[in-house]
Chain A
Amino acid sequence: MKNKSVIGIVVVILIVAAVVAVIATGGKKKDDSMNGMNMNTTASNSSSGSNSANAVATDSVEIKNFAFSPASIKVKVGTTVTWTNKDSASHTVTSDSSDGPASPAIAQNGTYKFTFKKAGTYNYICTIHPDMKATVVVTN
């Protein structure tokens, strides 16, 4: 009878411990995955509003209705990309990289050309309208 009580207590302790351990581990995993998601979202937002995975292979970008189109392009090193402004408002093509494009204000129907000499992902914005974001992915 005494042995049965001891075994019973041990079983209860084990079950409680196991439940606590499972909850603790599960909670941690959940937190980690949520942190990961948050970090990814932040990184994506801060770098660019466009999706590099959907980059279009082209060397020309149109600026229309306060947006760069395509928002994400891919080119090879040495390619000269041309931006054409179709808006009545002026826009700039300004990269966050010193190796990237840094245009003056481009007036309506004006163009700007830039040759990419280094591989990498170049995020750029219009400094007049900073919510206009786009990306150029340059590969070797």
Chain B
Amino acid sequence: MDSHVSKTSGIVIGVALLIIGLVGGYGIGKSAHKDNSRTKDSVSAISKAADLRANLVAMGVEHMQLTDQAVDAALDGSPNADASAAQLYKNGTDLGAAVGSIYGKDAEKTFNSVWKLHLDEFVKYAVASKSGDDAGKQMALSTIDSQYTKPLAQYLAKANPNLPEKTLETALGDHVTMTARMIDDHVAGNYSAETSELDMANTHIAGLMSTLADGIVKQYPAKF
């Protein structure tokens, strides 16, 4: 009798443990499946925002590299000057297309116009710097400030409430100052200083582009 009870208990315990094990395993498997799908959605959202950030940062840094290359080539009379300049202007319209993809064609047009102006004025600045024309340098900087820095900061802040105008104006102003220093360093033959300044300018514009990207993601959470 005792032996029979013991065997029966053993079977009951065994079956119970088997059921618990299987149910538990199934539950965990199901929960893991749920977690995976949730993670997939999160990764997709993070990826879109990260892509925007990475693309804007890459275009910003490319802008600095091409500016340095184009200005140096022009100042040094290198045969690649025209090709470098063309590449620099194309980078500008690529950035404009990125702006247009978010804020529309009119925004792209406005951006391209303002952006091109600051490139053109920096050509004038470089020419003035090479010829020692301080008044010409100041005139170019003044034009950049009134027709690029201020209006672009104002425009971006208006388009996106997450981007404070004053912060943008300061950031764009710093970008202008750093670029001007790079040109002056090159004209003076201070290539080491020019390289350091380019490094700073790269980091700065990467930060500025991250700020723009973060502001856009915040403005359109459903899109990113």
User: B104 on the interface (CB 8 Å rule)?
Assistant: no
**Which chain B residues numbered 91 to 146 have a C-beta less than 8 Å away from chain A?**
none
Report the Cα distance A66→B204, complex, angstroms.
8
Chain A interface size range: 20 to 34
A39 CB contacts on chain B under 8 angstroms: none
- Tally of contact residues, B, Cβ under 8 A: 38
User: B159 on the interface (CB 8 Å rule)?
Assistant: no
User: B161 on the interface (CB 8 Å rule)?
Assistant: no
A127–B200 CB distance below 8 A: no
Query: Per-position contact with A for B24-37: 1 when CB-CB < 8 Å, else 0?
Result: 11001001100100
Per CB-CB distance, the 6 closest pairs between chain A and chain B, nearest first, are A129-B207, A20-B21, A17-B17, A17-B18, A13-B14, A105-B170
Binding site for A on B (CB under 8 A): 7, 10-11, 13-18, 20-22, 24-25, 28, 31-32, 35, 164, 166-167, 170-171, 173-174, 177-178, 181, 197, 200, 203-204, 206-208, 210-211, 214
Report the Cα distance A49→B56, complex, angstroms.
22
User: A1 on the interface (CB 8 Å rule)?
Assistant: no
Report the Cα distance A72→B113, complex, angstroms.
43
Binding site for B on A (CB under 8 A): 3, 6-7, 10, 13-14, 16-21, 23-25, 27-28, 31, 35, 66, 87-90, 92, 104-105, 126-132
Give, as a whole number of angstroms, the nearest-CB distance from A81 to chain B. 21
B171–A128 CB distance below 8 A: yes
Report the Cα distance A18→B20, complex, angstroms.
10
**Known interface pairs A23-B25, A89-B174, A130-B214. Does A14 touch B203 (Cβ–Cβ under 8 Å)?**
no
B24–A24 CB distance below 8 A: yes
Report the Cα distance A104→B169, complex, angstroms.
12
Q: Which residue from chain A places its CB closest to the CB of B196 in the assembled complex?
A: A88
**Known interface pairs A10-B11, A13-B14, A24-B25. Does A88 touch B167 (Cβ–Cβ under 8 Å)?**
no
